[in-house]
Amino acid sequence: MTVPAKSRAAMTRAAARTVIIVAAPLVLGGLDAGAQTAPAPPPATAPASAKDAAEQRVRSLQTELHITDAQMPQWSAFAQAMLDNATSTDTLFRQRASTAQSMSALDNMKSYAQVARAYADNTENLSTAFEALYGVLSDQQKQTIDTLFRQQATQSAGTQPFRR
C-alpha cells in the first residue's frame, strides 16, 4: 500500500510526539485522581511545538512536586534535559519528514538509526539528570513521581501495538 506524502509527513510528526512521550514520561504525563496531588489543569490551547509542550510540563511538574529552593540545581538540570530532548527530537523528526519523499529505503533506514541513537542518548542524559533530582526529593515527592511513572508506563504499554 502506498501512503501519500502528506500522510507520511503527518505520521512522522505523530511518531515524533510518541518518541517524546516515551523518551520522557514526565514531559506530557499527568497524575490521575487517585494520586496524592491534583493533576495540573489542561492547557487552554494546545502547545505549538514539542518544546512548548515540554516547557508546560516542566512548569506543571515543578508545581506538582513542590520543588524547593534547595532542590533547584537538580531540578534545573532535569528540566533542561527535558527541554533539550524535546528540541532535538523534534528537529530530527522535522528533518526526516522534510526529506521522506526523496529518501531511498537505505536513506530511510539510516535516518531511522540516527533518530534511534539520538533517542538513546537523550534518554541516558535524562536518566542521569533524573537520578540526581530523585536523590534530593522528599519521601512525599518520591511517592508522587513514582506514581506518575507507574501510571505513564501502564498507559504507554496499553497503547503500544504488539508486533511479532
Q: Examine the pLDDT at 67 and tell me if it is beyond 80.
A: yes
Residue 160 grid cell:
503500544
How many domains does the chain divide into? 1
Listed residue (98, 91, 141) closest to 119, CA to CA: 91
Domain assignment present for 28: no
What number is the average pLDDT over the span 89-116?
91
Pick the range with the lowest mean pLDDT from 5-14, 127-136, 149-158: 5-14
Domain assignment present for 125: yes
Residue 101 grid cell:
519523499
List C-alpha distances in Å: 108 to 74, 80, 145: 38, 30, 37
pLDDT, position 6: 53
Q: Examine the pLDDT at 68 and tell me if it is beyond 50.
A: yes
Split at pLDDT 50, 70, 90, the class of 30 is very low
Alpha-carbon gap, residue 62 to 76, rounded angstroms: 10
Domain enclosing residue 110, as ranges: 5-19+50-154
Residue type, 161: P
In the chain, the percentage of residues whose pLDDT exceeds 90 is 49
Domain assignment present for 37: no
Split at pLDDT 50, 70, 90, the class of 154 is confident
Residue type, 105: A
Quick check: pTM over 0.85?
no
Alpha-carbon gap, residue 55 to 109, rounded angstroms: 31
Domain assignment present for 150: yes
Q: Examine the pLDDT at 22 and tell me if it is beyond 80.
A: no
pLDDT, position 4: 54
Domain assignment present for 40: no
pLDDT, position 37: 41
Q: Examine the pLDDT at 92 and tell me if it is beyond 50.
A: yes
Residue with cell 518544546: 51
Alpha-carbon gap, residue 158 to 151, rounded angstroms: 11
What number is the average pLDDT over the span 136-163?
85
Tell me if residue 95 falls in helix, strand or coil: helix
pLDDT, position 69: 97
Q: Is 52:28 a contact under the CB 8 Å cutoff?
A: no
Alpha-carbon gap, residue 51 to 129, rounded angstroms: 18
Domain assignment present for 126: yes
